[in-house]
Every structure is written in C-alpha cells, then in structure tokens.
C-alpha cells in the first residue's frame, strides 16, 4: 500500500491564501488584523520562528508588531508590555514566544494575555471553552491537524483515535478536538502499558511526544491515518518525527512527513486565529 502523503506545506499555503483574501476584504472596511509577537532573550531557533511569523504577516497584509526584549527583562516589565498590547486596538492577537527565561513565571504571563487576543489558545479561559466544546481560540498545532484531516476528507465520527503524548500544547487539546468530532479517543503517555497494542487498534494515530521514531512502523494498523507532530534532530542535520516514517508509510493510508507535514500548519493557524479575532472585534 502506498500511503497518501499529506503535504503540510501545500495545505498551509491554501490556508494563507484564504486568509489573504479575507484580510483584503476587511481592509476595505477599515480593519487590518494585527499580530503582536513578544520575544524575550536571543534564542536562535525562537528568533527564526518569530522572523517567519513577521514575514507571513507582511505578505498577507496584516499589521505586525514585534517586541524583542533582552533576557534580563523582568517579569513585571513583561507583564506591563502585555497590558499595553491588550489595550492596543491595532492588535488582535498576542503571542509570547516560549520558552521564557527561568526567572519569569510562564503561567502568569500567559494568563495576563487577554482571552480575546490569545492567538496561541493557551489562556485557561480558552482551554476551558475548548473542553466544553465552545472554543474561542484553538491551539495552533492541533487546529492545524484538524484542518489537515479536513483537507483529505477524513471523517473522525466513530473512528478510534490514539494520541501519543499528553502535553497542554498538543496532546490534550487535539484529543478534545477529536472528541468533539465524535471519535473514540485514547491518550497514551509514559505510564501507558502495552503502548504498541494500543496503537495497533487505532484508525488514526497522532504522535506528539518528542521522541525520535518512538512509534514503530509495524504498530500501524493497515489503512490507518498517521499524523506525526514530532520533530527531532538526529545527528547534525537529519530531522525525523515521532513515527518510524518509512515503515509506517508502507501500512498507512495517509501520513504526514517530517519535515513538511504538521510544522507549516502551526504558523498558518496562528494567523487564522488572529484573523478570526479581528473579525470578532469588528462585530463588538
């Protein structure tokens, strides 16, 4: 069986195209969606990621406000900036790039962001709304996973989904999203017994654990869909996912590659969340 390759780059490009079209329409009404990104410190990977977000904002005609702060920035100074961004009508989405320096309480910072501008979907208010099936903002990576499943026309209703990983960023929210689509969901983690046996019964496997090729190809049920959220560096240059890709692709009906799968969707959905926030603000 030759698995369908779910091309995250192509799907993300389609999402951005739709966003750009909607942004153009909003701008004709005098509304420019705006995203503020806050970076504390000079982590090279974070800087590259922030640069990509800014570039895409500009390409889509969105307002981009970047705040690059030194690693010595105090928690109080960061909270003051977030308060200013909460009050800025030009800003519809706020993203604080993680990780933050050790002297700053990450939870306190994320909770300081207005739930109405929580473009990452991490505020407890929005997490709670997701849990009861009434999301305001959906966390970007899980949101991207759902869009990818939609793109290949996959209906989760009645399907058995196994999520490997229970993080607040991916595992838990993606499980809730699958549940809202009437899937039967199992979440696996480091204490799960007989992980291979659990994965083998899945119609859909979503791997988000951050361990290189932890999910073996022969665990995949023939015809299953495999969504690999992980990205792990092996050696100096090679990137692999959480799933043993080549072996899994021989058994799956559809699979995401690493890189080029889920990764490109994350920024696209961040921009989508910002756009949706601007649309809501326009009706208030």
134 carries an active-site annotation? no
Q: Which one from 116, 118, 120, 242 is the annotated catalytic residue?
A: 120
What are the CA-CA distances from residue 85 to residues 41, 69, 113 (Å)? Answer: 19, 15, 9
Instruction: State yes or no: 51 annotated in a binding site.
Output: no
DSSP string computed for 62-120: -EEEEEEE-TT--HHHHHHHHHHHHH-TT-SEEEEPSPPPTTS-HHHHHHHS-GGGBTT
**CA end-to-end span of the chain:** 51
42 carries an active-site annotation? no
Q: Give strand pairing partners of 118.
A: 94
What are the CA-CA distances from residue 187 to residues 156, 178, 262 (Å)? Answer: 16, 11, 19
Q: Which one from 53, 117, 159, 221 is the annotated catalytic residue?
A: 53
Q: Give strand pairing partners of 68.
A: 39
Instruction: State yes or no: 166 annotated in a binding site.
Output: yes
Distance in angstroms (rounded) separating the CA atoms of residues 181 and 164: 18
Instruction: State yes or no: 167 annotated in a binding site.
Output: yes
Distance in angstroms (rounded) separating the CA atoms of residues 226 and 221: 10
Q: Helix, strand or coil for residue 276?
A: helix
120 carries an active-site annotation? yes
Instruction: Give which of 260, 148, 166 is closest to 204, Cα–Cα.
Output: 148
Instruction: State yes or no: 231 annotated in a binding site.
Output: yes
Binding residues for NADP(+): 165-167, 231
Q: Which residues are annotated as a binding site?
A: 165-167, 231
For the annotated catalytic residues, the residue numbers are 53, 97, 120
């Amino acid at each position: 069986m030759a698995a369908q390759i779910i091309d995250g780059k192509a799907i993300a490009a389609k999402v951005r195209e739709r966003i750009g079209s909607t942004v153009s329409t909003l701008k004709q009404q005098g509304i420019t969606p705006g995203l503020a990104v806050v970076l504390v410190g000079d982590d090279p990977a974070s800087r590259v990621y922030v640069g990509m977000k800014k570039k895409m904002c500009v390409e889509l005609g969105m307002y981009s406000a970047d705040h690059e702060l030194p690693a010595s920035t105090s928690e109080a100074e960061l909270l003051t900036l977030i308060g200013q961004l909460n009050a800025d009508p030009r800003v519809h989405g706020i993203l604080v790039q993680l990780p933050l320096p050790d002297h700053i309480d990450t939870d306190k910072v994320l909770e300081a962001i207005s739930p109405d501008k929580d473009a990452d979907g991490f505020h407890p208010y929005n997490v709670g709304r997701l849990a009861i099936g009434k999301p305001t903002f959906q966390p970007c990576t899980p949101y991207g996973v759902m869009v990818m499943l939609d793109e290949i026309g996959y209906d989760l209703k009645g399907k058995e989904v196994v999520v490997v990983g229970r993080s607040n960023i991916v595992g838990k929210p993606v499980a809730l999203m699958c549940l809202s689509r009437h899937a039967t969901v199992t979440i696996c983690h480091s204490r799960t017994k007989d992980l291979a046996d659990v994965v083998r019964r899945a119609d859909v496997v979503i791997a988000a654990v951050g361990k290189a090729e932890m999910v073996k190809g022969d665990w995949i049920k023939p015809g299953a869909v495999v969504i690999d959220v992980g990205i792990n560096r092996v050696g100096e240059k090679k990137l692999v996912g959480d799933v043993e890709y080549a072996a899994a692709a021989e058994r799956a009906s559809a699979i995401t590659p690493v890189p080029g799968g889920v990764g490109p969707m994350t920024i696209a959905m961040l921009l989508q969340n910002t756009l949706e926030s601007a649309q809501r603000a326009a009706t208030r």
